[in-house]
Structure 1
Amino acid sequence: MTDPVTDAASGRVPRPGQRFVFIGGLHRSGTTPLARTLAAHPQVSGFHDTGAKEDEGQYLQSVYPTAADRTRSGPGRFALSPAAHITETSPLADPANRDRLIADWSRYWDLDREFLVEKSPANLVMTRFLQKLFPEARFIVIMRHPAIVTLSTKKWAPRTRLSTLFENWFRAHDLLRQDAAHIEHLHVLTYESLVRDPGETLDRVRDFLGLSGPIPAEAVRDRSGGYRDRWLRLAEAGDPFTRRRFRRLCERFEDRANAYGYSLTDIDRVPPIDLSLRPAA
């Protein structure tokens, strides 16, 4: 491995022993509140006030194309493109690119902190690539109910079918499940556990990372209620076409939702707080 490239702006780089933490999860899954909550811990530095969309690290680096650029699609569709999934076999998984990423991101980290966090939704399907460059890194993925994510993403992609948005959710998480066997340090949590039991959920994140002291949870708020009600209205709509469409979505995706601990016919069913996507031994 080459020596880290010095950040041209500050003349500083992460010192030995500092840990990189990558947060991923589909758009509308809670990556932003999770990253901001984690960055409130005194040992942690995350990106803020960068001018980039949602302070996402993908917009603050010069190594790999953003998810939108490489897939030519946006939220709700990007995981359906083969170009979304980047692994250790990518020609970009080169030690020199680790140095470039460190130099790019170090402009926005407080390098006096021990844990350096980068958050981008597409990290969900890039864990193996990032681990190749940062073998010591920790990966945290947040998952949220597929129906809630689908409905909340629909406002960003009004012309995209609900079925396509569902397919994007399952494709992204199926890739994560496939990749999980290759990832040394991976922690998966759900949005539902974060908002319903933030203390225990964040304690598990703390223990996974090895932080000292609790992670503040004041910023965690549940914003799923309106989408939950909208999903229930689809089931009970007076329009027979809408009801039929709802039934077809449930028939098509219920088993796949169950595989992740969710249900489309029972919107309040969520996975347990102790969640693992790794294959059974």
Structure 2
Amino acid sequence: MSHRHNRFVFVAGLHRTGTSLLARILGAHPAVGGIEGAPVPENEGCYLQGGIPHTARDGRPGHYATDPHQHHTEASRWNTLETQQRMLSDWSQWLDRAKPWWLEKSPVNLTRMRLYQQLFPTSQFIVILRHPEIMAAALAKWVDDEPDTLIRYALDAYDIVAADLPYLHASLVIRYEDLVARPDVTRQALFAFLDLEDHDPGIELRDGNADYRTAHRASGDLAKRLQTWGYLPGGKVSDFTPHCTHPLRRIQETTEHLLTCRSDEK
């Protein structure tokens, strides 16, 4: 069977950073087909494929993104035609072949982007970040690690992503905070990155960070490292230049313009 008319867009991010929300927005577009109704948590494709083993040790919240054994690149043992064919076969059962874009959202995508680009060369990647203090507070419901440990985990993971980005042909990095503060232009930029017309899914967004105003405040080296991503202690945000690369200059420039213009500019 031929799949040459279908392209993957992989959504990636740490747990509790807005990957599900982002996937809902993208998946509502008539040209994007996501996994739906699957008997797995959050319709995450990592559970629906047998190309790369996924056990209880893989993808653990608060641990997976900094585990060297889960960072798959061009040198991965899974960079084989057999892996690609198995994953494509498994996933295609859950995806609409009539739609040009296939959406896959799993947190572990964050550490597999370079491998997935090898397996699916036309794929594109969208990474969503969230303030590490807020992520730590939200993740505390699931894990017992201390807040400083989780904040450091997020920042270490973001550094790994930053090191991987130069290897990717088509990648976009946005922040959860910008998505909820400027939903229209951020959504337009997301679809511009996929070379699609804007589509408003009618999803009402709220600032979930407001639920964690008493989150642990980073200090010392952690506070300094936050600034790399436009974050400040106390859950605050500052200026951030979104990352965007794309083989086509038109798409890259349009996406970048939308992400950096004021809400009253188009």
**Which TM-score tier does this pair reach, normalised by the shorter chain?**
0.7 to 0.9
1:24·1:122 contact (CA, 8 Å) conserved in 2?
yes
Structure 1 runs, 4 residues or longer, greater than 2 Å off: 65-71, 212-217, 219-222
Shift of 1:57: 0.8
1:9 is matched with which residue? none
* RMSD, aligned α-carbons: 1.9
Q: Does 1:120 align with 2:89?
A: no
TM-score by length of 2: 0.86
Matched, 1:57 2:45: yes
Amino acid at match of 1:269: V
How many corresponding residue pairs? Answer: 245
User: What is the identity, as a one-letter code, of the residue corresponding to 2:23?
Assistant: A
Paired residue for 2:34? 46
- TM-score for both structures, normalised by structure 1: 0.82
Give the CA deviation at 1:171.
Answer: 1.6
Equivalence for 1:36: 24
Task: Write out per-residue CA displacement over residues 160-207 of structure 1, whole angstroms, 9 at most, x where no aligned residue.
Answer: 111221121012111110000000000111111111111100111111
CA shift at 1:125, angstroms?
Answer: 1.4
Aligned residue for 2:214, secondary structure, equals helix
1:75 pairs with 2:61? yes
- Looking at structure 2, the residues matched to 109 and 270 of structure 1 have their Cα atoms a distance apart, in angstroms, of 38
Q: Does 1:254 align with 2:223?
A: yes
**Partner of residue 167, structure 2:** 182
Map of 1:210-221 to 2, 5 A cutoff?
Answer: 210-221=195-206
What is the correspondence of 1:81-160 to structure 2 with a 5 Å cutoff?
A: 81-157=67-143, 159-160=144-145
1:151–1:203 Cα change, 3 Å: same
Q: Is the contact made by 1:261 and 1:271 (CA closer than 8 Å) also made in structure 2? A: yes
Deviation track 1:208-264 (CA, whole Å, cap 9, x = no partner) reads 11113424252433221111x222xx5xxxxxxxxxxx5xx4113011100111111
Map of 1:269 onto structure 2? 237
Unaligned runs of 5+ in 1: 1-5, 7-12, 235-245
Aligned to 1:230: 214
Q: Given the superposition, is the C-alpha separation of residues 199 and 55 from structure 1 closer, same or farther in structure 2, using an over 3 Å criterion? A: same
> After superposition, what is the alpha-carbon deviation per residue over 1:136-182, rounded to whole angstroms, capped at 9, x for unaligned?
1010001111111010001100x211122112101211111000000
Q: Distance in 1 between matches of 2:205 and 2:97?
A: 26
Larger Rg: 1
The 3 A distance-change label for structure 1 pair 186 and 277 is closer
| 1:92 partner amino acid | W
CA distance in 2, matches of 1:136, 1:252: 38
CA contact (8 A) 2:187 2:198 kept: no
Inter-partner Cα distance in structure 2 for 1:270 and 1:121: 25
Tell me the residue number matched to 1:173. 158
